[in-house]
Structure formats: C-alpha cells, structure tokens
C-alpha cells in the first residue's frame, strides 16, 4: 500500500487503537490510560498536519477498499474534509486534556476514555470519507460510540436522556440509511465531488432524486438538531462537560451539519440543488431553527441548557449558509463549521470549570464569578461576544460572510433573521457576562471544591484559555493565509468555479 | 508601523495599567504615551497602509476630516488619561477603569484610522462595549440603570450599523469606506441604506429620537470618562455618518430637510430640558445633544446638494473639535470646584468661563470661528427656509449660553475647600485648555481652499478682530446676560430658587415615555405572552406524540429490559464491534 493511503488509515488508527487498548487496561491504570489518550491525540494532530501540508503541496490522498462490486470503503482528502479533520483533531487533543482533568478520580473512566477515542475515530472518519456509503458507516459508528458517553453518569436521568438520544439518532440513522440505499439504487456509487452523476440523472429521475434528497436531509437534520428534530440535544446535556463540549463542537451535531454540506455541495451539487429548488425548504427550516433556538435559550436558567439551545440556533447558521447560493454564503457556512466549534467548546469548558470548581450550575448563581475565575470567564466572554457576532472574534467573520451572501442572493429576509438572532444572542449571553464581571458576589461564600494555585486545576484551565484564544485568533487573523476563513474561501471558490 | 502602534499601544496600556501594580501607579503617564502615535498622525501627513492579514484585510488611512477628529480624540484621551491617573488614585477599582479606558481608547483611535468597513466596525464595537465598563464603573444603582439603557441602545445601534454596512459594501462592491458614498449616490436604494446608517450611528451621536441614553450614561461615568464619552466617542457616530453621506453627489431634499429639522429640534429642545437639570454633568450631557444637533443639521445641509464634501466635512470636523475640547474641559471641570482652593480658583473659573464661551461661540473664541464657517454654508445653500434656520442658529447660541450659565451656577454652589491647594489633575486640565484653544483657532488644520472659501481675501486674524464678527458673537451673550439679570432683578429667582434636589424633568426624558408605552404594550399583550410561555414550557406536539408511543406500557417494558442489557457497557461495546465486523465481512 502506498504511503499516502497508509496515512489516512493511520489517522483513523491513531484514535481507534488507543481506544481498544484502553478497553484492555485496568481501571486503576490511570497513567497508562492518560498517556495512551494523549499520545493518540498528539499523533493524530501531527498526522493531520502532515497530510495538510502534503495536500497543499499537491499530493493526493485516496484509499479505496472494495467491499463488493460497486460498494467501496473509500477515504479521500479534499479541502472540506481536511478542514473538518483538522478541527476534530485539534479539538480532540484539547478536550482530552480537559477530560483527564475534569474526570479525575471518577468511576468507569476506562469505559469513558475508550468510547471517547472511538467517537473521535468516527468523526475523523466522517471527515475523510470519500463516498456516501463510507460516510454513512462512520455516521452510525458515531451514534453508537457516543451513547456510553451520554449515559456516563449512570443515574436515572442519564439513562433516560440516553434513551431519548438513541431514539432520535438511531431513528435519524435509519432514515438516512433509506436515503443512502435509495441513492445507491438510483445513481450507483457516488463519490463526493462527482456531482455530474446526479446532474445527469435529473432529467429522468427528478421525483426520485427530490424525495431521496429530503429523506437524507431528514436523517442528517436529526444530528444537526434542526427543528423539529432538535429535542435530543438539550436532554443530552446530562453528559459530563467534556462530552457536551465535544458533542456540541465537533462530534455529533457537527457531523450532521457536515453531512448537509456534503449532501448539497458534493453529492447533488449546487447547480442541481438550485435547479431542482431543493434549498428553499432547507433555508426556511434553518431560519426557523435559528430563531426558535434563540427564543428557547432566553428562558433558561441552567447554564448548560442555555448553551444547548444556543447550539441549536448556531448550527442552523451553517445550514442556512448552505441553503443560500453564492460564494460568500458558502464561505460563511463552511467557516462557521470551524468557528462555531471553537467558540462553543470554549463556552462548555467554561461552564464545566465553574460547575467543577464551585458547583454553580445556574446562571443566577454566577454573580461576581469573573473576579474569582478571570481567565475562565475571560475566555467565555470572548466566545459569547463571538456568538453575538461582534468583531474581531470568529463569529463575526461567519456572520459577515453570511450577511453579505444573503444580500448577494437578494434574500433580504435572511439578513433580518441573522440580526434578530444576534440581538437574542446578546439578550441571553450578555446577562451572564454582566453577572460575572459587574455584579457583587452573594454573602455566603462557597468554598472551592478543589483548592489549588490557579483559579481552577491547570488541566481545566489550559484548554479553555487555548480555545478562547483560538476564537479570538480566528477572527483577528481571519484574512491571513491558512486561517479557517481563507480555507473556506478557497473551498467556496472551487465550488463555484465551473458555475456561470 | 505607526498605524499599528496607534491601536496597539492603548491595548497594551490597558493590560499594563490594569494588572501591573507599577503600571497602575503610573497610569496617567502611560495613557499619555499610548495616545502619542494618534496625536502624531493627527498632525503629520502620513500615507495609508494595508495590513492584509488582519481581520478581513485592514486598510488604514486618513483624510483631512478624520485627521482633525483624530487629533481631537488623541488630545482628549491623553489629557483625560492623565487626569484619571491622579483623580482615581484612591479608587479601589482603578485597575478595572484603566482596562476599559485603554480598550475604548484603542477602539476610538482605530475606528478613525480605519479605511475599510470590517475594521471600522470592529473598532467601533470595541469602543462601544469597552465604554460600558466606564459607564458602570461606580456601580451605584443609577449607574447600573444608565449602563443597561446604554447597552440596549448600543446593541440596537450595532444592528443597524451592520445591516447598513452589509448593504453598502454589497452595493459598492468593495470593502473600502471611501467607495460607499459614490455607491450610495448611484444605488436605487442608496437613501434607504443611508437611513439605516443614520439610525445606527445616530444612537452614538445622540440624535433625536435616539438620544435618551446619553443624559443617563455620560454623567454616570467618572469625570475623565465622561469627558471622552461626550468629547471624543460621541464624534465617532458623526464620523460614521460622514462615511455614509454622499455629500456633494446627491440632492436628497427630504432627507436633508429632515436632518436639518431634527438637528435644530435637538439644538433647541435639549437646551430647554437641560435647563431643568440639577446635576452639572447631566446639564452638560444635554448641551452635548444640543451641539451634536447642530452638526447633524449641517451634515443635512450638505445632502441638499451644491456643497462639495471637501469643504463641508472639515468645517464640521473643526466644529466638532472645538466642541469636543471645550466639552471635555467642562466635564473634567466638574471635578475641580470641590478640590481647588485659594488663588487657583481664579484660574479655574477663568478656564471654565473660556470653555463655556467657546461652546456658546463668544467673541475671540474658537466657537465663534467654527460656527461662522458653518454659517457661510447655510448662506449659500438653496435649502428651503435657510433664513429661518439662520435665525434658529442665533437662538441656539442664546440657548447654549443660558444652559451653560446654569452649569456654572450649579458648579458655583459646590462648596470650596478652605485651604489654598490644587490637585495634580489640574495640570492636564490646563493643558487641554491650551491645546483646544490653539488648534481650533489656528488655520493649520484646514486647507487653503476652505479658508478662502470662508474668509475670502481676509486672514483669520482680521476675522477675529473685526468689530462686526465680534458684535455678532456678543449679542447672544449679552441677551443671555441681560435675561439673567432681569430674572434676578424681578425676583422671579428663576435660576436661584430652582428646586435643588430633583430635576424638573428626569434625565433621559424620552426614555420614560418609551418605558410607559412599553409597559402598556406589555400589559396589553400579557395574555399572549403567558400563552407563548406555556407553549415554550410544554414539549411541542411532535415530541408529545413521540413520547406517547415511548411511554406506552409495552414499549416501556421492552425498552427497559433492553436497556438493562444496554447499560452494561461491555455488552454494548462488544456488541457493536461484532456488529461492525459482521457488517464488514458480510459486505466483503
């Protein structure tokens, strides 16, 4: 097997192998477990960086393994997949550090970290999939590997939440399966990027293709938490903070959003989707979800619940950007895949730090927390401002491109949706910021659960500071080469290269 | 390099003065150093620079108009910063103040040197949100209330600004701000985009009807912060307007008339409400609304057509310069009467008097000169009712003189210290007085073309010593003084027996009408809202049906027993591995 193909397999194995090895370890082998985890994470970042550099210098990375005639397991690297793989790899590393600190001394850590690794294997697999079937395999793999993480705490609430989670995601998976099989029957094997296959079939099979599109979209919408399939997301909040962080930033919800991006851009193609008028319903649902998620978030007092509804709202920015055609909105959608991830993971880390250090889980308890945890809340503030869309933070860049894209496509109502969402984001995030920095603490002092030198254990502090800085840097240096924005712009320009 | 320093030094200063004890002690000096690059750029002739890795690709450059505003801004932030260094040295939260002060300073400088839409918006937002920390600094209930109103209005402003920028950038097809006015002049929806910008930046300017946050927020901050809020940051809104206004390119008669009308309404109306105030800083805030009203009006005059932007905008900028320095002088001056004793008080009163005269356009002041300049434009336009507006301009001079006499009177009632002493922050105050007076009255900042347009053949010295100009400046002051004396003599005691504790009109006047209306609407809609809430709390119907099936006894039984199995993670783990492998081999 040639080197380049091997690299792709190695990227997957860098988390799969540690996952399996951890299963074989004993619960008390803490050091070995952490070591394996971190080693895997670092190796993965290194490998992705290697492939990244190679791809940009013109190398090609493809791995195809025939399962049956016409049915292949295919991995390949393109710009979009690489961007998502890089996001997964980097955030996995950060989250691993965080999880080791967060769960220190907990129970069932062997199980947790094993599935944690498998979950990332799945999400990198999704990123690197070369065709629809492979994508589906990893998509389902992800569902199953995240379930043990969601129910990690093992109490009744967690199990109940896990049940809801499975119902939704397995249901979505089944629907997606129908769509994938249907597509296979109608169009044969479809590799990502071969949009001409569908384009050539439109004339004869328009009805079938339309139905299949919406079946697959529905399947993907469950994970992407688009209304009315969003119900599992706030319930799944019972999971420990690192899991929520990963779930909301790269793994599950992002897999859905990424799937939608792939479906529209690389399976049906923009031209065909536009021509068959498939995108308007998506735009309407996405816009409604944006508003609905924000509205729900306004009425929550539970810190993590606010973040969950905010995720529902923010993810639909991606779907909305996909649903509007034009280079600018495509750029906005793709770049928001990354930006939403780094900002939201920062917020979950911050919420986790506050809960872990002082036991505060409600927003009404956060008065004056900024003075006690300045770095954590500083990072949170950056991310919150980014979510509102204030410059120079990552979220602003996404909003700028989406807004310009909407005007370019003359969908002025989309601009109104974006503005309304910004206003509501401000209305539910700014009170948190206000309480943290400008309110005096209550009279009864709650003592720290884990005393130490820093405001919170270093393993919890470093990740939140890092991702906070990422969020800032992604905005401040957006125009520089190799920023998420420049990659997203390149993806968008390639997509529209052959279009009139 | 210097362009980067303009924004970078204040940010560094913010961090250094907030977190480093040595930096905290020397914050005054540090803020002076941090504003030096901006002052230098305001005076020097630098070509622009492009930094293509920053934000969305940043362009920094200056034109004569923004150079004047930048100089004003630099001077104000420097002197107020030095003032704050000693004024707040006993404040337990001086570090926090310095942090927000430095951040807002960076934003204010940055937005002035930005030549592209994204970085302009970035720095504008930085300034707006950082100055929230200045407004709320004292932490009193009234400051918190002011800060809340400020924040809500700021966000509303931001939303209008971003939508205006989206549309403007799209129709200009370029990120450069300089391309916006020509594009708006051409575009079919150009006036609509301009209106969006007018509203968005109007919040910052304090234009009718968006001004009501201003008399709450500007006085709530500590004196040095009020000075930069009312002197410098308020002008950022004006600069925003200038970026959108296609002056000399269009003849938008109705928008022009609207701006002139609203401008003069603010100029005169704010005086009346301001007179009813009992807090000197609130009084000054209303005076700011009044003065910004005049600038609004003259920008409106420009949109009526016939006046080139190169002439009108620097003239408005110089008017802003005069107002900014004088207003900052008065705001800082509110901290003086309680601290300055003995012979120094003479100097203090002289300075305050000069500040008041400068704003009211008294003889031999920069106020007279800048107002005269604007007047020449009003004389040459074909705006309907120009003569009437000229008359209103004189009325506004009387109004301003009255309002600021009231300000002096309010300061006069503050008890003086018995000893002959002077605080350290008296020095930056005097520096500001000198700098403001010098640059407003010297022709150095204006182009020769504008000078000859306004003055014709005669020089600026002749202008200042001409009896006619001095008389035109003097009579409003004389009328004011006369009416004050009359009021006093008639024992109406209109000024002296003003109810001392409570203002006749609460600061933020219009806000209360809005709140009342809002209250009524809320009451009216309460039923609807409670309905909405009950909808929010219940699971939506799709979920209900779903749960109906789930909670059915048999499903429950099956799923619980299945779950008991699933809960044993080894089974799940091994199970799905087997599943995965079978699938693999099956497909193979």
Q: How many other C-beta atoms can be found within 10 angstroms of the C-beta atom of residue A89?
A: 27
Q: Is the pLDDT of residue B498 over 60?
A: no
Comparing A445-454, B396-405, B455-464, which segment has the lowest mean pLDDT? A445-454
Q: Is the pLDDT of residue B110 over 70?
A: yes
In this prediction, residues A77-99 reach a mean pLDDT of 92
In this prediction, residues B560-569 reach a mean pLDDT of 60
Residue in A closest to B587 by C-alpha: A67
- CB-nearest partner of A67 from B144, B572, B588: B588
Return the residue in A390, A406, A423 with the most chain B beta carbons within 10 A, the one to mutate for interface testing: A390
Interface contact B162-A403, CB threshold 8 A = yes
Residue in A closest to B575 by C-alpha: A144
Per-residue pLDDT tens over the stretch A106-152: 888 888 999 999 999 999 999 999 989 999 999 999 998 999 999 88
Shortest Cα–Cα distance, B567 to chain A (Å): 8
User: In what helix (H) or strand (E) does residue A73 lie, and over which residues does it extend?
Assistant: strand A71-76
- Helical pair B386-412 and B309-333, crossing angle rounded to 10 deg: 20
Contact A406/A383 with Cβ under 8 angstroms?
no
Q: Which residue in A376, A355, A357, A359 sits closest to A436, CA to CA?
A: A376
- State residue B552's pLDDT score: 65
Tell me how far apart the alpha carbons of residues B363 and B343 are, in angstroms, rounded to a whole number. Answer: 26
Per-residue pLDDT tens over the stretch A2-31: 788 888 999 999 989 999 898 888 888 888
Quickly list DSSP for B363-395: TTSHHHHHHHHHHHHHHH---TTHHHHHHHHHH
Shortest Cα–Cα distance, B82 to chain A (Å): 25
Give the pLDDT band of residue B385 (cuts 50, 70, 90): confident
In this prediction, residues B217-227 reach a mean pLDDT of 92
Residues of A in contact with B57 (CB under 8 A): 479
In this prediction, residues B392-403 reach a mean pLDDT of 89
Give the pLDDT band of residue A347 (cuts 50, 70, 90): very high
- State residue B576's pLDDT score: 58
- State residue B106's pLDDT score: 95
- State residue A104's pLDDT score: 83
**Which residues have CB under 8 Å from A306's CB, separation 6+?**
A297, A300, A363, A428, A429, A432
Give the pLDDT band of residue B445 (cuts 50, 70, 90): confident
In this prediction, residues A174-197 reach a mean pLDDT of 89
Residue in B closest to A156 by C-alpha: B567
- State residue A444's pLDDT score: 62
Shortest Cα–Cα distance, B512 to chain A (Å): 21
Q: Among residues 85-104 of chain B, which lie with CB inside 8 Å of chain A? A: none
Residue ranges of the domains in chain B? 250-500, 508-538, 541-588
- State residue B83's pLDDT score: 92
**Which residues have CB under 8 Å from B414's CB, separation 6+?**
B337, B338
Q: Among residues 136-195 of chain B, which lie with CB inside 8 Å of chain A? A: 136, 139, 144, 147, 151, 155-156, 158-159, 162-163, 166-167, 169-170
Interface contact A228-B584, CB threshold 8 A = no
Furthest C-alpha separation in chain A: 73
Work out the mean pLDDT of chain A and round it to a whole number: 89
Work out the mean pLDDT of chain B and round it to a whole number: 85
- State residue B570's pLDDT score: 59
- State residue B386's pLDDT score: 82
Give the pLDDT band of residue B555 (cuts 50, 70, 90): low
Task: Please report whether residue A144 resides in a domain.
Answer: no
Per-residue pLDDT tens over the stretch B115-136: 999 999 999 999 999 999 999 9
Angstrom distances, CA of residue A25 to CA of A21, A29, A120, A151, B484: 7, 7, 19, 21, 92
Give the pLDDT band of residue B489 (cuts 50, 70, 90): low
Return the residue in B60, B121, B159 with the most chain A beta carbons within 10 A, the one to mutate for interface testing: B159
- CB-nearest partner of A159 from B118, B166, B567: B567
Looking at per-residue pLDDT, the higher value among A66 and B573 belongs to A66
Q: Is the pLDDT of residue B493 over 60?
A: no
In this prediction, residues B288-315 reach a mean pLDDT of 91
> Helix, strand, or coil here: A191?
strand
**Which residues have CB under 8 Å from A410's CB, separation 6+?**
none
Tell me how far apart the alpha carbons of residues B509 and B513 are, in angstroms, rounded to a whole number. Answer: 7
Q: Is the pLDDT of residue B424 over 90?
A: no
- State residue B472's pLDDT score: 77
> Helix, strand, or coil here: B111?
helix
- State residue A340's pLDDT score: 93
- State residue B439's pLDDT score: 83
Angle among Cα A407, A413, A414 to the nearest 5 degrees reads: 65
Contact B158/B126 with Cβ under 8 angstroms?
no
Q: Over pLDDT 90: what percentage of chain A?
A: 46
Give the pLDDT band of residue A88 (cuts 50, 70, 90): very high
Task: Please report whether residue A498 resides in a domain.
Answer: yes
Q: Is the pLDDT of residue B216 over 70?
A: yes
Domain count, chain A: 1
In this prediction, residues B174-179 reach a mean pLDDT of 91
Interface contact A228-B542, CB threshold 8 A = yes
Shortest Cα–Cα distance, B327 to chain A (Å): 29
Contact B270/B287 with Cβ under 8 angstroms?
yes
Per-residue pLDDT tens over the stretch A441-474: 776 666 777 777 778 888 889 999 999 999 999 9
Angstrom distances, CA of residue A363 to CA of B104, B151, B322: 28, 20, 46
Tell me how far apart the alpha carbons of residues B439 and B347 are, in angstroms, rounded to a whole number. Answer: 21
**Which residues have CB under 8 Å from A402's CB, separation 6+?**
A317, A320, A321, A324, A328, A329, A332, A333, A336, A414, A418
Give the pLDDT band of residue B47 (cuts 50, 70, 90): confident
- CB-nearest partner of A415 from B129, B163, B588: B163
Task: Please report whether residue A408 resides in a domain.
Answer: yes
- State residue B542's pLDDT score: 54
Residue in the structure block whose two tokens are 């690489």: A82
**Assigned token pair, B550:** 């789930």
Per-residue pLDDT tens over the stretch B252-284: 989 999 999 999 999 999 998 888 888 899 999
Task: Please report whether residue A17 resides in a domain.
Answer: no
Q: Is the pLDDT of residue B560 over 70?
A: no
> Running DSSP on this structure, what letter comes out for residue B415?
P
- CB-nearest partner of B159 from A67, A137, A419: A419
**Which residues have CB under 8 Å from B203's CB, separation 6+?**
B153, B154, B156, B157, B160, B210, B213, B237
- State residue A153's pLDDT score: 86
Tell me how far apart the alpha carbons of residues B190 and B194 are, in angstroms, rounded to a whole number. Answer: 6
Residues of A in contact with B546 (CB under 8 A): 167, 231
Interface contact A476-B54, CB threshold 8 A = yes
- State residue B131's pLDDT score: 93
- State residue B352's pLDDT score: 92
Strand ranges in A359-470 using DSSP code E only, listed in sequence order: none
* Structural domain span for residue A414: 278-500
Residue in the structure block whose two tokens are 């704003």: B359
- State residue B565's pLDDT score: 60
Residues of A in contact with B163 (CB under 8 A): 403, 415, 419
Interface contact B55-A476, CB threshold 8 A = yes
Contact B346/B288 with Cβ under 8 angstroms?
no
Tell me how far apart the alpha carbons of residues B409 and B430 are, in angstroms, rounded to a whole number. Answer: 21
- State residue A58's pLDDT score: 84
Return the residue in A71, A404, A424, A438 with the most chain B beta carbons within 10 A, the one to mutate for interface testing: A438
- CB-nearest partner of A477 from B53, B163, B543: B53
- CB-nearest partner of B559 from A163, A396, A430: A163
- CB-nearest partner of A144 from B121, B546, B576: B576
In this prediction, residues B453-472 reach a mean pLDDT of 76
Residue in the structure block whose two tokens are 């053949």: B457
Residues of B in contact with A426 (CB under 8 A): 155
CB pairs under 8 A between A and B: 110
Residues A403, A409, A414, A416: is their CA dihedral positive or negative?
positive
Beta bridge mates, B116:
B176
In this prediction, residues A220-234 reach a mean pLDDT of 88
- State residue B584's pLDDT score: 58
In this prediction, residues B197-204 reach a mean pLDDT of 94
Side-chain half-sphere CA neighbours of A274 within 13 A: 13
Task: Please report whether residue A500 resides in a domain.
Answer: yes
Checking phi first, is residue A169 left (phi over 0); if not, alpha (psi -120 to 50) or beta? alpha
Per-residue pLDDT tens over the stretch B91-107: 888 989 999 999 999 99
Q: Is the pLDDT of residue B499 over 60?
A: no
Q: Is the pLDDT of residue A57 over 80?
A: yes
Angstrom distances, CA of residue B581 to CA of B412, B448, B451: 90, 85, 86
**Assigned token pair, A462:** 């470093």
What are the start-end ranges of the H helices in B88-189?
Answer: 94-113, 117-135, 141-172, 180-186
Q: What is the ipTM of this complex?
A: 0.91
In this prediction, residues A285-307 reach a mean pLDDT of 91
Angstrom distances, CA of residue B199 to CA of A421, B50, B71, B160, B404: 20, 30, 26, 7, 28
Q: Is the pLDDT of residue B461 over 80?
A: no
Q: Over pLDDT 70: what percentage of chain A?
A: 98
């Amino acid at each position: 097997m040639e080197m380049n193909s091997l690299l792709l397999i190695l990227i997957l194995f860098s988390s799969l192998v540690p996952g399996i090895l951890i299963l074989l370890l004993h619960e008390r082998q803490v050091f070995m477990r952490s070591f394996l985890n971190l080693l895997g994470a670092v190796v993965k970042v290194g490998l992705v960086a290697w492939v990244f550099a190679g791809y940009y210098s013109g190398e090609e990375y493809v791995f195809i393994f025939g399962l049956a005639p016409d049915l292949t397991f295919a991995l390949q690297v393109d710009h979009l997949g690489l961007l998502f793989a890089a996001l997964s790899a980097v955030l996995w590393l950060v989250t691993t550090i965080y999880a080791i600190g967060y769960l220190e001394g907990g129970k069932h850590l062997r199980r947790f970290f094993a599935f944690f690794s498998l979950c990332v294997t799945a999400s990198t697999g999704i990123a690197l999939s070369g065709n629809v079937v492979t994508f589906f395999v990893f998509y389902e793999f992800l569902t199953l590997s995240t379930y043990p993480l969601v129910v990690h705490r093992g109490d009744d609430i967690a199990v109940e939440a896990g049940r809801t989670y499975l119902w939704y995601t397995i249901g979505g998976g089944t629907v997606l399966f129908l769509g994938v099989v249907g597509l296979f029957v109608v169009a044969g094997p479809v590799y990502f990027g071969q949009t001409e296959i569908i384009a050539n079939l439109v004339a004869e099979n328009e009805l079938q293709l339309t139905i299949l599109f919406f079946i697959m979209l529905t399947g993907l919408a469950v994970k992407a938490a688009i209304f009315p399939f969003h119900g599992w997301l706030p319930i799944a909040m019972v999971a420990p903070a690192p899991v929520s962080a990963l779930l909301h930033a790269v793994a599950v919800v992002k897999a859905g959003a990424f799937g939608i991006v792939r479906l529209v851009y690389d399976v049906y193609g923009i031209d065909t989707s536009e021509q068959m008028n498939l995108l308007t319903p998506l735009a309407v649902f996405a816009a409604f979800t944006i508003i609905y998620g924000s509205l729900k978030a306004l009425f929550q007092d539970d810190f993590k619940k606010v973040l969950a509804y905010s995720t529902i709202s923010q993810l639909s920015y991606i779907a909305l950007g996909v649903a509007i055609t034009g280079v600018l909105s495509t750029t906005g959608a793709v770049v928001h895949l990354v930006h939403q991830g780094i900002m939201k993971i920062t917020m979950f880390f911050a919420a986790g730090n506050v809960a872990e250090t002082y036991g505060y889980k409600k927003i009404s308890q956060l008065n004056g927390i900024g003075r006690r945890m300045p770095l954590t809340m500083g990072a949170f503030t950056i991310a919150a401002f980014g979510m509102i869309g204030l410059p120079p933070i990552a979220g602003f860049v996404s909003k700028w491109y989406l807004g310009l894209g909407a005007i370019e496509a003359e969908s002025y109502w989309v601009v109104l949706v974006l503005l309304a969402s910004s206003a509501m984001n401000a209305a539910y995030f700014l009170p948190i910021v206000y309480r943290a920095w400008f309110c005096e603490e209550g009279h009864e002092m709650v003592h720290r659960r884990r005393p130490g030198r820093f405001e919170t254990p270093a393993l919890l502090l470093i990740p939140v500071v890092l991702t906070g800085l990422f969020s800032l840097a992604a905005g401040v240096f957006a125009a520089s080469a190799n920023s998420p924005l420049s990659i997203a712009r390149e993806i968008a320009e390639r997509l529209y290269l052959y279009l009139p | 390099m210097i362009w980067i320093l303009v924004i970078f030094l204040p940010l560094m200063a913010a961090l250094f003065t907030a977190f480093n004890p040595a930096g905290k002690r020397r914050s005054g000096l540090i803020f002076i150093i941090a504003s030096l690059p901006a002052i230098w750029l305001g005076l020097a002739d630098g070509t622009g620079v492009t930094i293509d890795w920053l934000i969305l690709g940043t362009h920094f450059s200056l034109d004569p108009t923004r150079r004047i505003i930048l100089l004003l801004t630099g001077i104000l932030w420097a002197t107020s910063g030095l003032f704050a260094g000693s004024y707040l040295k006993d404040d337990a939260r001086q570090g926090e103040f310095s942090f927000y002060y430095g951040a807002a300073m960076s934003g204010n400088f940055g937005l002035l040197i930005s030549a592209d839409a994204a970085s302009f918006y970035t720095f504008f937002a930085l300034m707006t949100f950082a100055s929230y920390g200045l407004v709320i600094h004292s932490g009193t209930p009234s400051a918190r209330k002011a800060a809340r109103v400020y924040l809500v209005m700021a966000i509303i402003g931001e939303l209008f600004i971003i939508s205006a920028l989206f549309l403007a950038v799209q129709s200009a097809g370029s990120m450069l701000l300089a391309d916006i006015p020509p594009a708006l002049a051409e575009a079919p929806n150009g006036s609509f985009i301009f209106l969006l910008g007018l509203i968005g930046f109007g919040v910052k300017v304090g234009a009718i009807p968006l001004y009501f946050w201003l008399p709450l927020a500007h006085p709530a901050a500590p004196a040095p912060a009020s000075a930069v809020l009312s002197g410098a940051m308020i002008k950022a809104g004006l600069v925003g307007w200038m970026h959108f206004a296609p002056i000399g390119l269009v003849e938008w008669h109705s928008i022009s008339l609207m701006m002139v009308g609203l401008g003069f309404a603010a100029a005169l109306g704010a005086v009346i409400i301001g007179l009813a105030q009992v807090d000197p800083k609130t009084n000054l805030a209303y005076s700011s609304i009044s003065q910004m009203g005049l600038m609004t009006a003259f920008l409106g005059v420009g949109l009526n057509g016939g006046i080139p932007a190169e002439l009108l905008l620097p003239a408005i900028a110089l008017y802003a310069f005069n107002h900014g320095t004088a207003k900052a002088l008065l705001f800082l001056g509110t901290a003086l009467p309680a601290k300055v004793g003995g012979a120094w008080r003479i100097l203090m009163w002289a300075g305050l008097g000069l500040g008041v005269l400068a704003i009211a356009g008294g003889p031999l002041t920069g106020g007279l000169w800048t107002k005269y300049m604007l007047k020449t434009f009003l004389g040459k336009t074909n705006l309907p009712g120009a003569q009437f507006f000229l008359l209103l301009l004189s009325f506004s001079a009387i109004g301003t003189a009255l309002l600021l006499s009231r300000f002096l009177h309010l300061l006069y009632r503050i008890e003086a210290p018995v000893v002959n002493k002077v605080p350290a922050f008296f020095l930056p105050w005097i520096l500001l007085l000198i700098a403001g007076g010098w640059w407003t009255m010297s022709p150095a900042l204006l182009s020769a073309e504008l000078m000859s347009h306004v003055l014709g053949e005669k020089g600026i010295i002749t202008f200042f010593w001409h009896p006619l100009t001095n008389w035109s400046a003097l009579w409003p002051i004389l009328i004011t003084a006369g009416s004050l004396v009359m009021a006093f003599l008639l024992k109406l005691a209109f000024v002296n027996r003003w109810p001392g504790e409570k203002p006749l009109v609460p600061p933020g006047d219009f806000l209360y009408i809005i709140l009342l209306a809002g209250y009524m609407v809320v009451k009216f809609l309460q039923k609807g809202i409670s309905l909405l809430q009950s909808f929010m709390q219940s699971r939506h119907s799709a979920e209900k049906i779903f749960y109906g099936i789930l909670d059915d006894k048999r499903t429950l039984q099956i799923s619980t027993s299945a779950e008991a199995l699933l809960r044993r993670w080894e089974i799940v783990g091994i199970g799905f591995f087997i599943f995965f492998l079978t699938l693999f081999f099956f497909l193979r």
